[in-house]
Structure 1
Amino acid sequence: MRASVSTTQDLGMPAIYLHLLAELLSTIGVDEKALLKRVGLDPVRLQSTDLRVSQSQASEFVTRAIIESGEPGLGIMLARELRLPLHGALGTAVMSSRTLAEALDLMTRYLTLRAPHLHVKRRQHDGQAIYAISCGIDLGPLQGFIMDAMLFGCASMGAQLTGSPVAGSSIQRRGPEPAYFHRFRQQIPIPVVYGAGEDAIVIPHSQLALPIRFSDDQLAASSKAQCEEALRRLTEDAGFACRVRRVIETSHPFPPKLARVATTLFVSERTLKRRLQAEEASFQHLVDQVRLERAGELLQQTAMNLSQIADALGYADAANFTRAFKRWTGQSPSQYRNQESLPTATSVRRTPASAMV
C-alpha cells in the first residue's frame, strides 16, 4: 500500500508549472486568478522559476481546475505547452546533451527536481529501451494529471530535441483509455497504447544514438553541475521548516495565518509549532525571512513606493515596514534602494532566523 502525500516527505512542485496551468485555464474561460487565491496561492509569485508549491496546494488547485473547467485532459493540454527551458537547469542539461540516450539518462537521474515522487527505471526488451515511470506515493487527483503531463510532454520534447518525432517510439499507459483521450490523440506525435501493465516510454534501441540539435558540451557540464547542486539542496531542505516556508513563500494573502499553514500541511497548530521548535525555528521568524527577501526584491526591482511595499508585505503602514526593515538590515528601505552595490543587495536572501530576532 502506497503512502499518501499528507504522510510523506513533501518536496513541492515547481511553481512555474502551476503558472502555466493557470494561463491555460484563462484561455478556456476559467478565472484562474480567483481560483489560485481560493487555494491560497499568489498568482504573481507562481511566475518565479525558483519557488516550489506544497504538493497539497498543488493537488487542490489541479483538482479544482479540472472540476471548474470541466476538462479532465488538462495534463495533456499542459504537456503541449512545456518547452525545455521551462524545466530549469535540467531542461538546459537535456538540451545540451550529445544524444537522446544521454538526455534520457539525465531525465532519469534528476526527475526529482521537477516531479518529486516519480521514478524512472530503464530496461531492455526485444530491441526496445523501456523507460517505466512509477509514483512512490498516492498523489490523489494530482497523479493522473502529472502522468499525463510527464509522458505526453516527453513525446513532445523528443521531437524538440531531435527535430522530429522519434521513429518507432510509443507511450504505454496503464488502465483503460479515458473517455476524453480521443479528443487529443491526433495531437500526440507518437502512438499511445492503453491497457499496458505500466506507464512507460518505449524507444527502439537504435534511436537512442540520435543526435541532439542543441548539443553543447560546455553548457551540458555546467548545467549538470547545477542539477547536482539543486538536487543536494532539495533533499537537504526537506525538513519541516522548509515545508512551512514553502507555503509562506507562495501564500495569498500574505502573510498567511498560522492556522492556514497548519491546515495546508495536515497538522494541528500545536504540532506545527512543536515541529518547528524541534528544528530551532519559529513560524514568525520564517514569515519575517520571506518578508525581508520580498522587501529586497521589491525595493531593487520595482518602482513601488514604501506604502505599496508595506501593503504587499502585510504591514499596517510604511512606518511599521521601515522600522522592521531597519531592524533587520541596519538600513532604511530608502537607503537600501539607493545603494549601488549588488553584493550588498543580495545579502537579504535566505537570512538566518537567528539574525532576525
Structure 2
Amino acid sequence: MNYVRLGVMDKLPELLQQTFGVDLAAFGHETGFDFSRFAEPDLLYPLADILQLLEHCAEKTGMDHFGALLARAQNHDSLGLMLMYGASAQTLAESMQSVIDNIHLNATGVQYQLVAEQGFAYLLLHIDQPGNSRQGALFTLTQCYLLFRALTANKWCPGRLCLKQPPPARQAAALRQMFNLTIQFNADFDGYIFDAAQLSLEITNKDRRTFALIQDYLKLSGQTQTDNKLSQIKAAIRAGLLLRQSCQLPELAAAMHMSVRAVQYYLQQHQLKFQQVLAQVRFELACDLLCNSEQPISVIAEQVGFADIAVFSRSFKKHTGLSPSQYRRPGKLT
C-alpha cells in the first residue's frame, strides 16, 4: 500500500475553513475523514484515501483546480528533509534528481522521472494508484513548480505544463494565470517540458556541506531508497511510450546505462521477460489515460504502442476483464 505524510498538505483544514467556510466536522462526516489527524504531520496516510479526499474537496468547494490552490497555500518547509536535500544541490538537474530520489520520504506511489532528449527536458509525473488522481496531480505538480522556481530565484521557466486531465469546467483561465505558462490539457502525460539548458541553472543559497551531511544521514539512518531497479526499468519504459510511443529493449538498456544482456539477466532473476514488463506498463498507462483524460480511445491505443484499435481493445479486455469503453465509464472513476 502507498502512503502520504500528512505534513506535506497540512494547510488543508485551514484552506477549507478560512477560504471556503467549510464545516470540517460535517465534511469529515460526509467523507469519512478525521481532520484532526492533520495534528500529526508525520502520520502516514493511505495514498488512495488522500487522492479521494482531494477530489471530494474539489467538489465541495466548486474549485476544479483545488489541488493547485492547496499547493499554493503550503510552505516549502512542509516538504521537510526532502526540501533541505534539494535546496543544498549545486544545479537544477542535481536538485531535481535529489527530490526524485527522496520523494519517498513524503509519499510512496508518487514518482517523477527526469528525461533529456533532443534539447528538451521532461519532468514526468506518475501516480501509481488506479482511478481518478486529477487533484493529486495538480497538487504535486504545483508544489514542484513553486519549489524549483524558488530554488532558482525564478529562473526556471518551463515552456509547457502537460496535464492528462481535460480543461477544468469552471477555472481553466484561473489555472493558466496561476502558472503563467502554456498548459496543454488532455496530454499524454502529466509533467513539464522545458529547455534542457535550464538544467544547469544554479541553485541559490546552496550549502554543499549540508548536502553531504544529509546524504550521509540518509544512508546511516536507512532512509535511502532501497534498490528498485525494476521500478526504474518500468519508469524508463513508460517514458519511451510517452515520448516515442514505443520502447525497444536496446532503447531501454541505453536509458538504464546497462547492456541488453544485463537487463535481460536482471529480469530473469525476477522471473520476468522484457515483453511481460512492457505489456504491464502499457496497460497501466492505458488505464491511467482512460481514467484521467478525455483522449479518444484510438489515440490512447496509439500512445501505448498499438497501431490497431481492435487489437488494443481485445488485449485490454484480456488484461483487465473490461473493454476500454467499459473501463472509462463514469462509475469507474469513483
TM-score category (smaller protein): 0.5 to 0.7
For the structure 1 residues 97 and 32, does the alpha-carbon distance in structure 2 shift closer, same or farther, using more than 3 Å as the test? farther
| 2:204 is the alignment partner of 1:200 | no
| 2:55 is the alignment partner of 1:69 | no
Separation in structure 1 between the aligned mates of residue 80 and residue 119 of structure 2, nearest angstrom = 32
For the residue of structure 2 that corresponds to 1:195, the secondary structure is coil
For the structure 1 residues 73 and 227, does the alpha-carbon distance in structure 2 shift closer, same or farther, using more than 3 Å as the test? farther
For the structure 1 residues 108 and 54, does the alpha-carbon distance in structure 2 shift closer, same or farther, using more than 3 Å as the test? same
Separation in structure 2 between the aligned mates of residue 169 and residue 187 of structure 1, nearest angstrom = 14
Structure 1 residue 91, shift from structure 2 partner: 0.9
Separation in structure 2 between the aligned mates of residue 173 and residue 134 of structure 1, nearest angstrom = 11
Report the equivalent of 1:80.
72
TM-score, length basis structure 2: 0.60
**1:166 partner amino acid:** W
- Kept in 2: contact 1:79–1:153 (CA 8 A): yes
Report the equivalent of 1:146.
136
Cα distance per residue 1:165-209 (max 9 Å; x no partner): 513543122243222322221111433222322112222121111
Report the equivalent of 2:12.
21
Separation in structure 2 between the aligned mates of residue 196 and residue 56 of structure 1, nearest angstrom = 23
Separation in structure 1 between the aligned mates of residue 143 and residue 150 of structure 2, nearest angstrom = 10
Separation in structure 2 between the aligned mates of residue 93 and residue 189 of structure 1, nearest angstrom = 27
Unmatched tracts of structure 2, length 5 or more: 228-334
Structure 1 residue 220, shift from structure 2 partner: 1.6
Count of matched residue pairs: 224
**1:156 partner amino acid:** L
Which of 143, 150, 153 matches 1:160?
A: 150
Which of 25, 41, 44 matches 1:49?
A: 41
Separation in structure 1 between the aligned mates of residue 206 and residue 149 of structure 2, nearest angstrom = 15
Larger radius of gyration: 1
For the residue of structure 1 that corresponds to 2:126, the secondary structure is strand
For the residue of structure 2 that corresponds to 1:196, the secondary structure is coil
Separation in structure 2 between the aligned mates of residue 234 and residue 28 of structure 1, nearest angstrom = 41
- Structure 1 segment 91-240 matched on structure 2, within 5 A: 91-138=83-130, 140-141=131-132, 143-179=133-169, 180-227=171-218, 229=221, 231=223
**1:101 partner amino acid:** A
- Kept in 2: contact 1:84–1:91 (CA 8 A): yes
Superposition CA RMSD, Å: 2.6
Unmatched tracts of structure 1, length 5 or more: 1-9, 236-357
Separation in structure 1 between the aligned mates of residue 226 and residue 79 of structure 2, nearest angstrom = 15
Cα distance per residue 1:260-294 (max 9 Å; x no partner): xxxxxxxxxxxxxxxxxxxxxxxxxxxxxxxxxxx
Structure 1 residue 115, shift from structure 2 partner: 3.2
Cα distance per residue 1:293-320 (max 9 Å; x no partner): xxxxxxxxxxxxxxxxxxxxxxxxxxxx
The percentage of counterpart residues that share the same residue type is 21
